[in-house]
Amino acid sequence: MDFTFSDDQLSFRDALHAMLVGEVTTDRIRSRWDTDSGTDEALLQQIQAFGFGSMLVPESLDGLGLDLVDFVLLAEACGRAALPEPVVESAMVVTPLLVDVLDRGLGNGFVQEVLDGLIAGTTSVAVAHPINPCVNFAHRADWLLLEHGDELHLIHRDSTTLKSHKSVDPSRRLASVTFDPSSDTQIANGEAGAKLWRATLNRGALASAAQLLGLTQGIIDQCIQYSTDRHQFGRAIGVNQAVKHLMADVAVQLEYVKPVVYRAAYTAAVSPDRADFAVSHAKIAAARAAMLAARNSIQLHGAMGYTWECDLQIWVKRCWALAREWGDDGFHKNRMHEWLLRPNALLGPEFTFGRRSITDSVDVA
Amino acid sequence: MDLNYTEAQHAFRAEIREWLAVNVPRTPLASFDTKEGFAAHREWERTLAKGNWGMVTWPEVYGGRGCDLIEWLIFEEEYYRAGAPLRVNQNGIFLLGPTLMEYGTEEQKARFIPAMASGDEIWAQGWSEPNAGSDMAAIRCRADRDGDEFVINGQKIWSTRAVYADWVFGLFRTDPASERHRGLSKILVPLNAAGITVRPIAQLNGLPGFAEIFFDDVRVPAFNMLGGEGEGWNIAMATAGFERGLMLRSPARFQQAARRLVDLYRDRGNDILDPSIEDAVLRCYMDAEAYALSTYQTASKLTRGGSIGPEASCNKIFWSEMDILIHETAMKLLGARAEIEPETATEITELGSWLDGFMFAQSGPIYAGTNEIQRNIIAERMLGMPRK
């Protein structure tokens, strides 16, 4: 039993954080808003240099062979920087889905080629899970992973129809996707397809939860700065207990979301078939903390918090969006509820990590 | 990261489970805030000590098992699972014990720890005074040095367990010219010493769970001072750290309560008319689990040589507010019957101990430093918000 990250994992996170602090400035985020692509291609190259393309690809497929526990801290760092590009989803959701397809001996001739392109950073892929009404950055994806019942299709973007939607978060680029499914594009179906979609939902919710952790921390960072700099009645506003407690409430919640998200990452890595409740818990708790952070931070900034000019909106609006993607509260609470009321659910203090291990933690049918 | 127990940890769990199954009293003991209940709980401490289960993290020489914190968590999980009695000596074993281990001399450890472990000496705590509550540095109770002794004069209040306990530890002003945090020392005082008057204070449930202690020229040997003269504040902060931090409220307590809440929710089934209750039950279960996961994280960090930081102040807010939500939700589930103090066997079966727990939960956000003070500490020391 060791619920800590290794020094390597932590220093990798710190290195990424340091790079993002330097490169993902609020000015550069705002300059993306005025472009059609919404992305900074030079930055994407820098991220690729960190190995994002191959990190969650097993060594047998020429990847780095890391797992979700290694990656969850990096996703958190991307959230803290409010990084607009969908690199977390690409590494944590899209890539593992393609790897799963190959692992099961499914797919068509294109899958390996597309995965190779992802590893090399030359191809971009987005996934359209039915739980999300839109796909973020679909227009810059070369390939799209699409759902048709339990079927999974891999289609070149040119063969789909995209309809753009404006997001409350100017950093996001949403589109709804329509396509004509055919046997040429189908790479999985039936029970295997359903299983792939379910695992994808869990990895998507985990990716959101991890970024929400980082976003919450990013909001705290700005509030500390503002409450120190801004003076009223001749002193910093952060001196007032009413202001302090707005942030203390967020900090308390955040402290108790972190281990929940890390446990979800561990469970999804070692026992993906049994990760539903751990992931749903993580998504519910991370969204709750982030929504409180968003609310309290606007209050703390006063009228400035309600302006377009204030950079706080970059983080706050991302929280609003991510809190609901990959399953909103209603979806995840229902999953938790169903699990909790199962007659054979393992409840109580002796089952924190399952009967004997996380791999048998959900039930023993 | 490896979230699996080792075979040795599984074996440890099996061992304590088996021992508890044989030894836990079949009928619940009376409250330790009654005379007979206190005696029964002392007896239980003696039973635990005989099995070397009194404080598993202590070295064997002091009656412990030299366990690490993960094993301590496993012990606690099994302890609450078995419904074993509350620890009447928690002030001693969870608060003073760790402080003695860190700051006590070998002679002091030998004098106090075995008797604490065996249940022969039960401890009360003496921090607050009538004018030193949240502002603990305003302590005025004096301990004047007179040769090899201290002479104590003044008053303590809200001293938990002081009515029936044998000893009290507390902070006293040893330098009469000092102010605030300076000039305080931590001193251990036998409650049967000449010059001590204990006046019980009835708590919300009517039982004398705490007391006022009056000191009138009470003489104790200088040997009873823990750490150096004038170092009391720092030592007290270390104790408060244990209290707010890891030991006082182990996660198993809340996981067990949340588990019972889920059972109550299932039993009430179709009778539940308030749709917000389902959400509250889920929240309670998730929060109890989050608290457990966080504690495993902290225990792992400490086992690897790390230390508890100011984030420990988050613990106390989290568990005390969770405890209130758990019990408020149970009260809602019981509806209008929630006000009944169970007396008959049927009532006890139907209503359980929820009302008692509900009342006790009200004290959580107050003791061990009010949650308002904790929020200030978090904002200033953990987040770095401005003090002035």
Domain edge (last residue) among A165, A191, A217: A191
For residue A128, the model assigns a pLDDT of: 97
For the residues A22-48, what does the mean pLDDT come to? 95
Mutate to test the interface with A, among B281, B321, B385, B387 (most CBs of A within 10 A): B385
Q: Going from the N-terminus, what domains does chain B have, and what CATH number goes with each?
A: 7-88 (no CATH), 123-237 (2.40.110.10), 249-382 (1.20.140.10)
Is this prediction's ipTM beyond 0.85?
yes
- As a whole number of angstroms, the distance between CA B259 and CA B232 comes to 40
* Mean pLDDT on A178-188: 95
Q: In this complex, is the C-beta atom of A331 within 8 Å of any C-beta atom belonging to chain B?
A: no
> What is the widest separation between alpha-carbon atoms in chain B?
72
pLDDT tens profile A82-113:
999 999 999 999 999 999 999 999 988 889 99
Q: Which of A144, A159, A191 is the last residue of a domain?
A: A191
Q: Which residue of B298, B313, B383 to mutate against A (max A Cβ within 10 Å)?
A: B383
B299 touches chain A (CB under 8 A): yes
What 3-state DSSP class applies to A40? coil
Which candidate, B148, B192, B383, places its Cα nearest to that of A296? B383
| Pair A152, A129 in one domain | yes
Q: Is the pLDDT of residue B240 over 80?
A: no
My answer on whether A14 and A140 are in the same domain is yes
Q: Is A2 among the domain residues? A: no
What are the tens digits of pLDDT across the range B24-74? 999 999 999 999 999 999 999 999 999 999 999 999 999 899 999 999 999
Q: What does the pLDDT average to over B101-118?
A: 94
CB-based contact A1 B256, cutoff 8 Å: no
Question: pLDDT band at residue A358, thresholds of 50, 70 and 90?
Answer: confident
Q: Collect all residues of chain B within an 8 Å Cβ-Cβ radius of residue A251.
A: 314, 378-379, 382-383
Which pLDDT value is given to residue B244? 54
* A20 and A106 in a common domain: yes
Q: What is the CATH number of the domain that holds A46?
A: 1.10.540.10
pLDDT at A344: 83
Indicate if A210 and A180 belong to the same structural domain.
Answer: no
Shared domain for A101 and A223, answered yes or no, is no
| pLDDT of A361 | 56
Assess if residue A208 is contained within a domain: yes
Q: How far is B97 from chain A (nearest CA, A)?
A: 25
B381 touches A at CB < 8 Å = no
Same domain (yes/no): A108, A235: no
* More reliable by pLDDT, A232 or B98: A232
B318/A contact by beta carbon, under 8 A = yes
Is residue B243 among the annotated active site residues? yes
List chain A residues with CB under 8 Å of B266: 341
B255 Cα distance to chain centroid = 17
Tell me the nearest-neighbour CA distance from A306 into chain B, angstroms.
Answer: 22
**Together in a domain, A185 and A290:** no
Higher pLDDT, B242 or B201: B201
pLDDT digits (tens, 9 = 90+) for B323-375: 999 999 999 999 999 999 999 989 988 899 999 999 999 999 999 889 999 99
Residue A365: predicted pLDDT: 34
What confidence score (pLDDT) does residue B98 get? Answer: 87
Catalytic, out of B7, B129, B243, B328: B243
Q: What is the pLDDT of residue B103?
A: 93
User: Of all helices (H) and strands (E), which one includes residue A175?
Assistant: strand A174-178
Asked if residue A112 and residue A138 are part of one domain, the reply reads: yes
Q: Which of residues A191, A214, A231 is at a domain's end?
A: A191
- Distance between CA atoms of A93 and A83, rounded to whole angstroms? 17
pLDDT for A40-83, tens place per residue?
A: 999 999 999 999 999 999 999 999 999 999 999 999 999 999 99
A290 and A354 within one domain: yes
Residue in B286, B372, B380 closest to A336 by CB: B286
- The residue-averaged pLDDT of B253-281 equals 93
State the burial class of residue B222 (Cβ atoms within 10 Å of its Cβ: 0-12, 13-18, 19+): middle
Q: Confidence band (pLDDT; 50, 70, 90) for B308?
A: confident
**Interface contact A248-B375, CB threshold 8 A:** yes
Residue A50 lies in a domain: yes
Rounded to whole angstroms, the Cα distance separating B202 from B207 reads 5
Tell me the average pLDDT across B245-261.
89
Range from A74-78, A299-303, A355-359 carrying the lowest mean pLDDT: A355-359
Residue B260 pLDDT greater than 80, yes or no = yes
Q: If we measure between CA atoms, which residue out of B161, B139, B157, B154 comes closest to residue B218?
A: B154
Q: Is the pLDDT of residue B247 over 80?
A: no
Strand pairing category for B167-173 and B123-126: parallel
Asked whether residue A42 is domain-assigned, the answer is: yes
In terms of Cα–Cα distance, which of A317, A301, A137 is closest to A212?
A: A317
Beta strands in B6-138 (DSSP E): 123-126
Q: Is B139 helix (H, G, I), strand (E, B) or coil?
A: coil
Closest chain B residue to the Cα of A10, Cα to Cα: B1
Residue B128: per-residue pLDDT:
95
Query: What does the pLDDT read at residue B306?
Result: 81
What would the mean pLDDT of A3-31 be, rounded to a whole number? Answer: 97
pLDDT value for A364: 41
Strand pairing report for B225-226 and B184-190: antiparallel
A1 part of a folded domain: no
Note whether A69 contacts B1, CB cutoff 8 Å. Answer: yes
Is the domain of A210 the same as that of A184? no
What is the tens place of the pLDDT at every residue in B216-235?
Answer: 999 999 999 999 999 999 98
Interval A211-220: pLDDT, tens? 999 999 999 9
The verdict on residue A196 lying in a domain is no
For residue B243, the model assigns a pLDDT of 52
Q: What percent of chain B has pLDDT over 70?
A: 98
Cβ contacts (< 8 Å) between A3 and chain B: which residues? Answer: 1, 3, 293, 296-297, 299-300
CB-based contact B165:B213 (threshold 8 Å):
no
Percent of chain A clearing pLDDT 70 (strictly above): 99
Domain for residue A365, yes or no? Answer: no
Same domain, A147 and A274: no
What average pLDDT does this structure show over B98-123? 94
**Total of domains in chain A:** 2
- CATH assignment of the domain containing A209: 1.20.140.10
* Residues B247, B103: Cα–Cα separation, whole Å: 18
Contacts of B169 (CB under 8 A, 6+ apart): B91, B95, B96, B123, B124, B125, B126, B186, B187, B188, B189, B226
Cα–Cα distance list, B295 to A260, A290, A336, B73, B244 (Å): 11, 22, 22, 9, 12
CA distance A259 to chain B (A): 6
Q: Residue A198: inside a domain, yes or no?
A: no
A209 and A141 in a common domain? no
Q: Which of A122, A121, A120, A177 is nearest to A148 (CA)?
A: A177
The CA distance from B29 to B44, in Å, is 9
Which domain range does residue A134 map to? 7-191
Looking at per-residue pLDDT, the higher value among B143 and B246 belongs to: B143
Give the model's pLDDT for residue B212.
98
B268 touches chain A (CB under 8 A): no
Does B291 touch chain A if contact means CB atoms closer than 8 Å?
yes
